[in-house]
Structure 1
Amino acid sequence: MTISVRPIDETDHAAVNALHRFVGWPERSEAGWSWLEANPARLERGAPAGWLLETEDGEPAGFAGNFVQRFHHEDEVLYGATGFSIIVTPKARGGSRKLITAFTNQPGLFAHYTFNANAVSAPLYKRYGMVPWPSETHALKLSWRIDALACAEGRVWREIDRRVPRLTEARQERLLNPRLHEPDALTLPHGVSVLTDLEDDSRFAGFWAALKAEGRIVADRSPAALRWRLADPDLTLRPLLLSYSCDARVRGYAMAMMSKGNPIEPPMLEIIDLIALEGEPQAVPTLMQALLMNARSMGAAKLRIQMVSPDLLRRLGPLADSARREGGWGHCHVKFGPNAPGAAVWSPTPFDADYGICLRPVPLAAVERWAA
C-alpha cells in the first residue's frame, strides 16, 4: 500500500483527533488545535503544525505534531522543535519513517528533539540521527509520592487493565478526589509567592532579561510567551506559577500543572518548568519544597518531573535523592543542526518539551459528577 505524508491544515483536526482517540491519547477541541497552530514561534518560522500520513485512498493513517519554540543564546535568536503525538495505525505500519524524516529534515533549527518518547518508540529515533541526550539523564524521571494509597490503587487498576482489559473498557474515571479544583490558598515558604503578574514591565520580565543575559540557550520564557502558553483553551485547571524572590527581585520560577494520564491513573502534579539564575542555590530547592508542600491539597497522588538535566539534578541536591527514579528508557533524543551551539550551553527543562501541550488535563466534569 502506498503511504504519503503531507503537512496538516485546519481541515484535518477531526482526523487528527480520531487518530489520538485510536491510541487513547487526549484529544483537543477545535479551539485547542487553532490555538496550537497560532503558536507565534511556528508562524515566525513558517513551519508545519504537523504532518499527516494518508493511504492511497486518502484515509488518515498517522500523525506527528511539530511544536516549534523560540530560543535565545547570548544575542542570537534560535529555533528548535519537538515532535509530539507520533501515531501510526496498522494500515501504515512502517510509516513512522516518513513522519520522523519529515520532522528531522526541517531546515533552520538548532535542534530537533523529543523529550517524551515512550518505551516502545524510543529505539526508533536513533535510526534518524537522533541520539539519547543529555547523556547522563536521558532515561531519568523523578517523582515524589504524595498519596501512597492512590498510587497503589492506580497500580492495581493498571494490572487489571493488563490482565482483563474488558473490565476497564468503559473508561470510567477513577481515583478522583474533591481537592481537584483551583486551590483557595497555598502554604508557601519564605521567598516564594504565586506568580500572577506577566506584564511586559513586571518583575518577572526582569528575571527573564537576567536569564537571557547569562548566555545559556534558554527557551523563550518572556511574559508574552507565558501568556500564550496559559491561553490554551483546553486547560481545565490553570497551571500553578510560583516565583522565588530575593531583594525584591525574581531569581527563579516554577510552573506545574495537574494532569490525569488516563481514566485509571491517579492525578499528578507535573512540573513543567523549574529554572533559576546562576548563583542562586536556594531558588530551585525552595520552589520544589513549595510544590511538595501543596501537592496533596491540590489533589495530586504524585509530584513528578519527567525531564531532568544534569544541571537541574545538581540544583535539586538532596531533594533528588529523596525521589523515586522512574523512566529507565531513553525518552530524550536530539538531533542538533549543523553549526549549532554546543550542547553544553543548553540545559533544558520540561518546558522545552511537549509536556505542557500533551498532558491530559483533569476532567473537571467527571470530578463534579463524582462529587455530586
Structure 2
Amino acid sequence: MADKATIRPVAWADYPAIQALLRQARWPQRSLAGWDWVWQQNPARQALLAQHEATESDTVTAPLGWVIVNEGDGDKPIVGYLGNIQQQFYLHDPTPGPTNATGWHTLATCTSYYVDPAWRAKSIGLMRPFFLQKGISAAFSTTANAHSATVYELYKAQALHDPGYRQTVLWLGDETRLCRKGLRKSLLPLLGATLLERCRPLIAQIAKPLGYALRLLRPLLGATPPRLAYGGDVKLCAITEVDSRFDSLWQKMIARPGLWLDRRAATWRWRLQDPDQQGQLALYAAINQQNQLDGYLVLARYTCKTNLQPRAYLLDFVLDPTLPTNMGAATSAALLHAAVADCRQHSLVVLEAQRFSHASDLFRYPHGGYLRSMAQTHTSSHYLRLLKPAGNATTGLQAATSHGWSITAIEGDFWYGLTAFGQEVSPSVAPLEMRSGD
C-alpha cells in the first residue's frame, strides 16, 4: 500500500465510495435520499448557508464532512470518513453582562467516524477539520467509544459527565413475543435447530398464556410505567398535526435557562420525514382538554433481523415545564404507557431509552423502567468543545453544557445513525440526481 493520502471536504459525488466504506465496517448506511434529507433539507444547515450568502464571509461554512482519499494505487479511493451534521440550539443564558450568549447557536455533531484499519494512522488528522470548522459555536459527539475517546481528548474536547450517558432504561413491550423468544432460546440446545423449527407452532401456543401471565405480573416485576390517571388524551400524531401547539410548548421550554435543541414545529416536520425511517417513527402527544400540549414523545421502531431483539428506541421526551407536579407525573406516565402499547401492537419486545441525561424530562418523574448500566465496551461517551462564538461569549454556553444540559437521543448523531441498523440501504429507495459539488 502506498502510504499517501490527503484529507479534504466531502463532495456529493463521494456518496458511493463512502457507502462502500461504511458497508465494510458493517455500519448503518443512508440512501441517497437520506443524504439529501440530512444535509440539503436540514434547517440548521440551510440557516448557515443563508448566513454565508448574506455576509459573503469565509468564516461561515457548512461542510458535509471530510474524507481520507487514497492517492496511491488501490481499489479504495476513500479510506476514511467523518460526517458533519449541523443542529440549531437556543441558549437561554442567565449570565448578566457582555458575555451573555442568549440566542440561537449552531452546533455541529460528527457521525460515522470510521477509517479503514490499514490507514488508522491517518484517523487523528480526520478529526482536525471537524474541531477547526468556522461559523459554529461548538462541536460535539454523543457516540464516542473507548477507542475514539483519546482522539477527542487530544483536540481538547471535554467529556460531559452524566450518569444517564452510561445507562439504558427498559420497559417490557410485547410479553408474548418475549416468552416465545425465551422458549426458543432455552429449547435450542435440547432439540436442535431442525426439530425446534418444527415445534414453532407449538411454542407459539405455549407462549400466549405465559405472555398473558407476564403482563399481569408486570407491576410486580417492574419495567412498566406507573398507573396514574391523565385527564387528557394521548394520540399518535400525523405530520400535519405537528402544528402551532408544538411552537407554544417550545416557547415554554426556552423560558428556562439552559441549552435547548430546536424543537419548533417546522423542525419536527422535517425530522419526521426522514426517508430512511418511514414507517419506523412515531410521535405521541398528550393533549389536554384545552387542546394544548402537555407533552410528547418520539420513538423509532426496529424489527430488522439482527442479533438484537425487536425493539423501539425512545428518541425524545418533552413535558410542559409549567405543569403542576401531579399533572406532570400523570402526563409522563400516560405517554410511556402509549409507547409500551405501541411496542405491543408492533410485536416489539422492549422499549429502550439511552443517551438521556438525568436532567431530561424523562427523569423528572418516576418512569417505572428498569435501569441498566451499559457495558463499558458499549458505552457512548459525550464530548464537547466550545469554538468561541461571536464575541467570545462562551461563559453561558460553558455553564449550560457543563451542568444540567437536558440531552435526549435526538441531540448528537444517534438519530441519524438509526437507519437500517447495520443493514444496507439501497440507493434506489429514492434516487436523486448526483451533484458534482455542494
Contact 2:252-2:321 within 8 A present in 1 as well: no
Match of 1:15 in 2: 17
Could you tell me which of 21, 31, 34 is aligned with 1:32?
34
Match of 2:319 in 1: 276
Task: Tell me: higher relative CO, structure 1 or 2? Use CA pairs within 8 A at least 6 residues apart.
Answer: 2
Could you tell me which of 70, 89, 101 is aligned with 1:71?
89
Q: Secondary structure at the match of 2:163?
A: coil
> How many Å separate the matches in 1 of 2:311 and 2:115?
27
> How many Å separate the matches in 2 of 1:155 and 1:228?
41
Contact 2:280-2:302 within 8 A present in 1 as well: no
Match of 2:339 in 1: 291
Match of 1:176 in 2: none
Alignment of 1:1-372 (within 5 A): 1-38=3-40, 39-45=42-48, 46-57=61-72, 59-74=77-92, 76-146=103-173, 147-149=177-179, 190-196=232-238, 198=240, 202-246=244-288, 247-260=290-303, 263-280=306-323, 281-282=328-329, 283-312=331-360, 314-320=363-369, 322-328=370-376, 329-338=379-388, 339=394, 340-341=396-397, 342=399, 343=401, 344=403, 346-361=405-420
Contact 1:142-1:326 within 8 A present in 2 as well: no
Q: CA offset at residue 193 of structure 1?
A: 1.6
TM-score of the aligned structures, taking structure 1 as reference length: 0.79
Q: Secondary structure at the match of 1:319?
A: coil
Q: CA offset at residue 234 of structure 1?
A: 1.7
Tell which deviates more after alignment, 61-70 or 131-140.
Answer: 131-140
Cα distance per residue 1:282-337 (max 9 Å; x no partner): 233332222123212222222111212122363142524x3333354352222233
Tell which deviates more after alignment, 262-271 or 117-126.
Answer: 117-126
> How many Å separate the matches in 1 of 2:171 and 2:373?
9
Q: Secondary structure at the match of 1:293?
A: helix
Contact 1:54-1:62 within 8 A present in 2 as well: yes
Q: CA offset at residue 94 of structure 1?
A: 2.5
Match of 1:184 in 2: none
Tell which deviates more after alignment, 198-207 or 24-33.
Answer: 198-207
Residue identity (%): 26
Match of 1:173 in 2: none
Contact 2:83-2:112 within 8 A present in 1 as well: yes
Cα distance per residue 1:26-59 (max 9 Å; x no partner): 2222222122221221232231111111122382
Match of 2:224 in 1: none
- C-alpha spacing 1:153/1:34, structure 2 compared with 1 (3 Å): farther
- C-alpha spacing 1:201/1:59, structure 2 compared with 1 (3 Å): closer
Q: CA offset at residue 7 of structure 1?
A: 1.0
Q: CA offset at residue 98 of structure 1?
A: 1.6
- C-alpha spacing 1:345/1:16, structure 2 compared with 1 (3 Å): same
Instruction: Give the residue type in structure 1 aligned to 2:368.
Output: L
Instruction: Give the residue type in structure 2 aligned to 1:270.
Output: Y
Q: CA offset at residue 89 of structure 1?
A: 0.1
Cα distance per residue 1:91-145 (max 9 Å; x no partner): 3112221222221222333332111234443444222222321343332222334
Contact 2:18-2:81 within 8 A present in 1 as well: yes
Cα distance per residue 1:204-251 (max 9 Å; x no partner): 222223223334311111111111112222224141101123343212
Q: CA offset at residue 257 of structure 1?
A: 0.7
Match of 1:183 in 2: none
User: Which 5+ residue runs of structure 2 have no aligned equivalent?
Assistant: 49-60, 93-101, 187-228, 389-393, 426-438
- C-alpha spacing 1:198/1:332, structure 2 compared with 1 (3 Å): farther
> How many Å separate the matches in 2 of 1:154 and 1:224?
45
> How many Å separate the matches in 2 of 1:148 and 1:115?
30
Q: Give the aligned CA root-mean-square deviation in angstroms.
A: 3.0
Query: Number of residues paired by the alignment?
Result: 333
Q: Secondary structure at the match of 1:353?
A: coil
User: Which 5+ residue runs of structure 1 have no aligned equivalent?
Assistant: 157-187, 366-372
Contact 1:139-1:332 within 8 A present in 2 as well: no
- C-alpha spacing 1:326/1:298, structure 2 compared with 1 (3 Å): farther
> How many Å separate the matches in 1 of 2:84 and 2:363?
31
Contact 2:143-2:381 within 8 A present in 1 as well: yes
Larger Rg: 2
- C-alpha spacing 1:240/1:201, structure 2 compared with 1 (3 Å): closer
Contact 1:245-1:251 within 8 A present in 2 as well: yes
Q: CA offset at residue 90 of structure 1?
A: 1.9
